[in-house]
Structure 1
């Protein structure tokens, strides 16, 4: 199944990354009245010998399909329309003659522009940049896969990385996109060994090392640890190195401490908190004062061995200690972590509904039957995948579920 799916994904990638081409238009013949107008009022200053403003009109063909030529004719149009040409000191054409030329130029410019839009669209067809590709994987398959570091950095045009001119497609880049597609398919289809269910329950008072006591306070009466925002704060969940990348359901029981009855806010980060490690913000949360509340969220952990870290709002001066500090704090009772989604490949299995069908209408009732259909009809499936750019027709209709163990 993997080989078939990967072959199909490669077809989809090539479709998704293909660049569009424009259709040429035949050059429009110039009316004799327009040619006579230009000879009388324009060629004196814009011929081969003079070329004022670096504009030569005696050799400018009426090929409005060529962008550079159309741009020159557009300049002529606006100069005439604003009565900036001919210059005020030169003999002026009649309003009728001027309007006749403007009508012809405007009509030809609009026709050419409309033809370009029909053939190319208002925005040129281009490949996805890295961020768009990663977001598309998430939208199609419902999984979080970090492909940003796998894919080469995108080029830029005038500071933008969504412009077709900057998004080149070299053989090396295509190969990297295919590797990213393989990774996405492996994750979505659950290829590889399935780790056991993971459930961790951390009591806050058991996670504080003695050397961290400078910026925390243990409350023995209700088994809570008060965290203060300090560079020495033990808010990193060191006893939880993530066994695999993926999405983890996190539940934190906490309350405000010394907040004068006001809610206490905190933010949660995930990542590698060693020097030089990469971290990211998961979100901002708040809990009421003096009464524990449970905050539940999903944290996307991208690396094996990564962990979580809590930062309460407020700041403890370095000369203070947690035992005597009277400022804002966050009292944490416990933290629970459970693997929650399929991209961690922990305690997860893809399931299908009775009504699930392939693109051609054939139904399947379990994953084994789906695999048989894929292997028996690779060409039919490939056509459906190419139309959807990736295996959306197959995998997007496949349901994934997790067991509730909280």
Structure 2
């Protein structure tokens, strides 16, 4: 007992002396023996003089410098491996123990902030839910959000300014006006159906020799063509004056003059709402004047709304097949269809060519389009009468009409949903006063209420997460019940808490581990969880950058819209599979399967996959694919559209998968750029770059994973040689390397085998990402032990991805950061 007491006293004295400005003795000894040679006043490598570094830990810059020292020594990066005399493990432990204690003592006094602003994605989704406008597009009215630690949910990056507030006022006004403009009564559901050949875009495709009208499976009567114009300006124009029951599209891309493809353009939605779209399509071979069975078993059709993909669908050979989907349509929206899998060039409209009468090639026939709606409104499941449209009911009560007698009641109900908590009558009075004052000035009741609602949507209680239980509660060690409900919901659905979560918050039971876990499971099973999958991957894996560069068409002619969409769908579908099946974190870098469709199977050289549906496909032995490392989307975002960079890819692997952050390069050090002429390999360029001592340390960690990924080009296709600017085969690729700390590999397969050995490291990295994303705060020095405890609970499932996520949610750290 006395020994324990002495240790406690010693630790306290150590911390006290540290806070007073004295470097612990063991730490000073380590610095003198192993660090001062490079980090003294004379040498000062990395602009760091440890012999003069203050120990006044109340100074934030000093505190951060010592935290970096701990990080570098703990990781083994310092002292450098090349030093002949390295400190023993005992010496390192003796030096770091009092140093950690001192740093923890200071950090423990710093406090935490659990309040942050909604980012613009969350703001948009919150208004969608609050106003029953599922397709509201409002985020573009707001400034871009900042990022810290890779996420746009971190408090330090989400500042607020007068410009931001003016944009919030504008966005709220637009959203409320749209909600109030919805019809008072729910519009009767109707079904519209018409031949695809009757659509204006179908007739346009026929006129430009890109489509064929059919009647009874044959070329329809009334089709003719002739050459118009003179000389170089002449072309073959087509005309159709007959009746058709189908239109055959002969080209995947209908060209710049009809980039929208074939649309449902003769249907006009009566009101904005949810609609069910159905269509009949089938694949065929057009052989001059005849319809024949194609060599392909099917073709794939994409439905889209502007730049939003609605889905991919199969069109089987010679078998009309009905497909359907539901989507939100505004009155001016037009659904488009493209035959994505047709790679034939289509018939030419040259004067010397007989158009469709001289053409043989694949085609997709569309028989008819059908639209049903508007379907049941989003609030019908609440048990409230659906006779009144949802948006107006949420604004003005059950009648959908503003009533002076119910102003306080509807205002309070709206405020409770907006503030994500129960609201006292006294809190609503300022907003009621706004409405009453405006009415005295001559405004209508509806207009006055909308202005009061606008004020609510610009109030701190709406714009900031963490205030749900009040400022006093926000300062306590753990989140209050309503703040916890909001944190859970905004993490797993990117939107506000629903009625069930709010009910559990109100009765105080949400924080119980079993209930909290059950609610997390419920949210992960809900449609809203797809928003979590999409946004989390956009941030964690940088998928949001997929369109930052455009692959050079001359170098990568196979890159098309279908491959772009399929690549994103693969990464999201793969993560969803890991989550749903609770597969271990080793799959992040090396899985025995991929989640792909027909287009990616062709891109990856995998046989036997046909159709639009994403599916889990086992990989053959020795395959280079598997895990996030070799997915087309990831490989594209880590390239610039023309050439690849092992440095960019190496940094991505280290930071995003392995959880190893890297400092920015020293100033005035040029980047290691690939040789555009192809005369020198990137490996040769990087080796010259690493000869600079200022670059060697970081590049020893960064470059090896990136070199292994050089066997994949800028769009994720495998290669053995670099591609010259003229598309000829260039120099051979050497994808071998050695990880810092040991472990040589000859290519991606062996690198993957080395990385999967560190399951614990992968789990720690992923759990940290979940925590940052969910709490809006980085995992600090004081929280590393708690992080390790979270990870340990998932060990029985081989650190399953779902187990890790749920362990994060029910942890004290999730409720206290």
- Tell me whether the two structures share a fold, i.e. TM-score over 0.5: yes
Pick one of 90, 97, 103 that aligns with 1:103: 97
Once residues 144 and 303 of structure 2 are traced to their aligned partners in structure 1, the CA distance between those partners, rounded to angstroms, is 28
Structure 1 unmatched ranges of 5 or more: 1-24, 272-278, 356-365, 398-406
2:311 maps to 1:270: no
Number of equivalent positions: 343
Once residues 501 and 270 of structure 2 are traced to their aligned partners in structure 1, the CA distance between those partners, rounded to angstroms, is 27
1:265-304 alignment runs, 5 A limit: 265-271=300-306, 279-301=307-329, 304=331
Deviation at 1:120, TM superposition (A): 3.7
Once residues 396 and 107 of structure 1 are traced to their aligned partners in structure 2, the CA distance between those partners, rounded to angstroms, is 40
Is the contact made by 1:264 and 1:330 (CA closer than 8 Å) also made in structure 2?
yes
1:1-400 alignment runs, 5 A limit: 29-30=19-20, 34=24, 38=28, 52-53=44-45, 54-55=48-49, 60-63=54-57, 66-77=59-70, 84=79, 101-113=95-107, 119-120=112-113, 125-138=115-128, 141=132, 143-155=134-146, 161-184=152-175, 191=182, 196-197=187-188, 199-207=191-199, 208-209=202-203, 212-213=206-207, 214-221=209-216, 223-229=245-251, 230-231=254-255, 235-242=262-269, 245-258=272-285, 259-260=294-295, 262-271=297-306, 279-301=307-329, 304-312=331-339, 313-314=341-342, 315-319=344-348, 321-322=355-356, 325-341=359-375, 352-353=382-383, 367-368=398-399, 375-376=408-409, 378=411, 382=415, 385-388=418-421
Once residues 94 and 27 of structure 1 are traced to their aligned partners in structure 2, the CA distance between those partners, rounded to angstroms, is 25
Deviation at 1:203, TM superposition (A): 1.4
* Residues 396 and 244 of structure 1: CA distance in aligned 2, closer, same or farther (over 3 Å): farther
Deviation at 1:36, TM superposition (A): 9.9
Deviation at 1:151, TM superposition (A): 1.9
CA shift digits 1:176-196 (9 cap, x unpaired) = 234434555566677555685
Once residues 340 and 323 of structure 1 are traced to their aligned partners in structure 2, the CA distance between those partners, rounded to angstroms, is 43
Q: Tell which has more relative contact order, 1 or 2 (C-alpha 8 A, sep 6+).
A: 1
* Residues 288 and 47 of structure 1: CA distance in aligned 2, closer, same or farther (over 3 Å): closer
* Residues 26 and 145 of structure 1: CA distance in aligned 2, closer, same or farther (over 3 Å): farther
* Residues 385 and 27 of structure 1: CA distance in aligned 2, closer, same or farther (over 3 Å): farther
Once residues 500 and 31 of structure 2 are traced to their aligned partners in structure 1, the CA distance between those partners, rounded to angstroms, is 67
Q: Indicate the structure with greater strand content.
A: 1
Which of structures 1 and 2 has the bigger CA Rg? 1
Which SS does the other structure have where 2:97 is aligned? helix
> In the alignment, what sits opposite 1:8?
none
* Residues 381 and 299 of structure 1: CA distance in aligned 2, closer, same or farther (over 3 Å): closer
Once residues 174 and 292 of structure 1 are traced to their aligned partners in structure 2, the CA distance between those partners, rounded to angstroms, is 54
Structure 2 unmatched ranges of 5 or more: 1-14, 218-244, 286-293, 349-353, 386-396, 422-460, 463-495, 503-817
Is the contact made by 1:143 and 1:188 (CA closer than 8 Å) also made in structure 2?
no
Deviation at 1:114, TM superposition (A): 5.8
TM-score normalised to structure 1 length: 0.63
Deviation at 1:146, TM superposition (A): 0.6
CA shift digits 1:263-305 (9 cap, x unpaired) = 221112223xxxxxxx433221112222222111123445x43
Q: Indicate the structure with greater helix content.
A: 2
Deviation at 1:378, TM superposition (A): 4.3
CA shift digits 1:365-401 (9 cap, x unpaired) = x82499876733745863564235668667999xxxx
* Residues 206 and 56 of structure 1: CA distance in aligned 2, closer, same or farther (over 3 Å): closer
What root-mean-square deviation, in Å, do the aligned CA atoms of Structure 1 and Structure 2 show? 5.0
TM-score normalised to structure 2 length: 0.35
Once residues 74 and 268 of structure 1 are traced to their aligned partners in structure 2, the CA distance between those partners, rounded to angstroms, is 52
